[in-house]
Structure 1
């Protein structure tokens, strides 16, 4: 019965979203604020994969209507926690008698997310730890949600996205979500990242506790910090330090190790009392082939040279093109908007002129969807880089991207 009710809710939200898209496609006006509010209320209660996907969408700040993004973004910071009685069921499945392992478990979570929520606990030996507890029945909910998602994604045909490309996008999203349900994989990723970045000053990865962890409960040592999204009013020197650490770490992840932490929303990051960046969540880690990195750098090189034909060639290799007739004028406009960020010297990510120009291009991008396509093979990579761009914007970062990208462009040409 509960599953049928969940399906009805998702279908209703999907139909409402589809109606808004269709009205816009036909030249009408959609009430994006009302839709954002409805999605927040419905998905906050449903949680699970549907809420996770909405959080992903919220990171597409440069493509979606601002009023819709505002509603979806609330899911990252204001989601309602699941009642303790249901969370305790998962703990009992893991520990049989949680009291044998913990002197105390706080019933009020200090973080609630799409797939689970985090509770502080004190072990029988007196150590404070955190327990990331998966919501009950999530495995069953995932497959049902994916079925509804496949139906909702058919709306993309109204935006001239090919069915083959929609299927590829769906399969990548589905694989990512299924992977996130296994907390043993996240524990392994935490251990791997702790060993890999032990040399990295300014970066902290919580230590997993294998003896207290399982497929649906992840136990970690407690690392206290100020959430990244609360740093907008912090001291400028701290924000610049954190922005530099984040950028250095992402570069090393990609170009040295060929992996990427692929869940960039600000709730997964914090800063400790020493100004170190804390990475709390490693549920989504993806492999990034060197071939994709080289092609992305070729695309950036073409953008900086204002070479529209080379941009089209790179997009084709990334799977971001279809049909005949490259939108060369749109490429040139996009290059003119983005290239100032890579000029020599320190560039200010808080400069709203770039964001404004990108938003102004959005209708033209949608209008060219008969020739442009979401690049399925790098969907999570591009979404992650976009999400971290907005993290740098929130930090008010000032970075010399010209100096940072010169060696990477040379590597791509080699």
Structure 2
């Protein structure tokens, strides 16, 4: 235990290097401009170096730092291109790559979780990690019965790293804001901190994955790997692989991107009704496209538990906005504590604020692209905008915070795919009461 303060101090120092590094590069850039350097070229160099440092620091630290980077990667589509482009590749790397832990540590963790004879459970075990994430890394192996399996092993000290990083990132959000203009980083870090405990025990993740696997067993559009064994800090499931969604985003054809977007939208919109759970970590590193065209869904460490499906107030908000009923919408928002106490915000202001978010549901086919999402971010982030003032009158109740982040994260990925999606039909199938078809609500589960 004596080296924990030293490790924590070292992590804090590395995280602090991000805003300090940006400040130093900015000062140097100003100096070069004063000396007659090309302003655009200097700015591009500054952003590229900041991107390199972002990946180096967040990837090396893993823990909460890497989790923050993964969450940030989902929202890069909302950031103006002149800011986002240099960071795009670095943020994508954070979805699936990080420096591996030493082999001896992997062996120690597996012996601790499955007993000293853990090797006897496997016919073969690849010492080189196949993937790495925020709190663990994955090894490919062959189970004793011949099945190919994925072995996820948690990093030693993951809990300490998560707590330390998210605490420090929370303090630094204002300094780090230039990394993500138009996004509010502090609420993002706070929500990650609130979900932290759930992700540390792989038995909880295994239980959620089993529920998803059962619900989607035999599905012709979605594949959920079955769990083979689990322990608090290690988990074994079927080995399944495909083409990374980040690769489809980067180089997929139009039909490939459209097909991937439809699969992703259907999976996420159907899960509350079909499973009673919502996959709550929708960054591209958790999705792949299999050779048979199915969507492979990984990592169930973060889920929202929705035994009755999507909360009815959220569905009714969308329905009232679609039906252009501002007075009823405002009354519902007040009743469900979406409006701050004492606020005198008007019904027309609220309708104008929310209407653009229902735009994808007003047409049979909607093009999700960066320009649309950037327009929404600019509309809400402009201090001079009436929409910004309205947003300050509204409140997001804690019980809906995770659903909101998943919804916004999903929109971010769909816009990264730059895809045409029949989202109205998908939502109408799984949440028909939004469109007034109350009779179809029963029987959608399964």
Scaled by the length of structure 2, the TM-score of the pair is 0.74
Matches within 5 A, 1:300-379: 300-306=318-324, 312-313=330-331, 315-316=333-334, 317=336, 319=338, 321=340, 324-326=343-345, 331=350, 334-335=353-354, 337-350=356-369, 352-364=370-382, 367-368=388-389, 370-373=392-395, 375-379=397-401
CA distance in 1, matches of 2:131, 2:363: 40
Matches within 5 A, 1:6-85: 6-13=11-18, 35-61=50-76, 64=79, 67=83, 70=88, 71-85=90-104
1:262 aligns with 2:284: no
Preserved contact between residue 318 and residue 378 of structure 1 (Cα < 8 Å)? no
CA distance in 2, matches of 1:60, 1:119: 29
User: C-alpha deviations, 1:144-190, integer Å up to 9, x for none?
Assistant: 3344345446889xxxxxxxxx8x98775334211111111111122
Structure 1 counterpart of 2:247, from 213, 230, 233: 230
1:2 aligns with 2:7: yes
User: C-alpha deviations, 1:32-53, integer Å up to 9, x for none?
Assistant: 6665543322111111122212
Q: Identify if the C-alpha distance between structure 1 residues 244 and 370 changes in structure 2 by more than 3 Å, giving closer, same or farther.
A: closer
1:250 aligns with 2:268: yes
CA distance in 2, matches of 1:41, 1:140: 20
CA distance in 2, matches of 1:237, 1:12: 42
1:183 — aligned with what?
202
CA distance in 1, matches of 2:126, 2:54: 29
Shift of 1:284: 1.1
Shift of 1:363: 2.4
Mark the runs of 5 or more structure 1 residues left unpaired by the alignment.
21-28, 157-165
1:387 — aligned with what?
409
CA distance in 2, matches of 1:276, 1:207: 15
Between 70-79 and 37-46, the greater mean CA deviation after superposition: 70-79
Structure 2 counterpart of 1:90, from 109, 113, 127: 109
2:32 — aligned with what?
none
User: C-alpha deviations, 1:341-362, integer Å up to 9, x for none?
Assistant: 2233222224x55234213314
State the secondary structure of the residue aligned to 1:278.
Answer: strand
Preserved contact between residue 327 and residue 371 of structure 1 (Cα < 8 Å)? no
CA distance in 2, matches of 1:33, 1:408: 47
Structure 1 counterpart of 2:149, from 110, 114, 129: 129
Shift of 1:262: 0.5
CA distance in 2, matches of 1:326, 1:304: 20
Across the two proteins, how many residue pairs are aligned to each other? 394
Q: Identify if the C-alpha distance between structure 1 residues 399 and 169 changes in structure 2 by more than 3 Å, giving closer, same or farther.
A: closer
Root-mean-square deviation (Å) = 3.8
CA distance in 1, matches of 2:271, 2:310: 14
1:141 aligns with 2:144: no
State the secondary structure of the residue aligned to 1:133.
Answer: strand
State the secondary structure of the residue aligned to 2:235.
Answer: strand
Scaled by the length of structure 1, the TM-score of the pair is 0.79
Shift of 1:65: 5.8
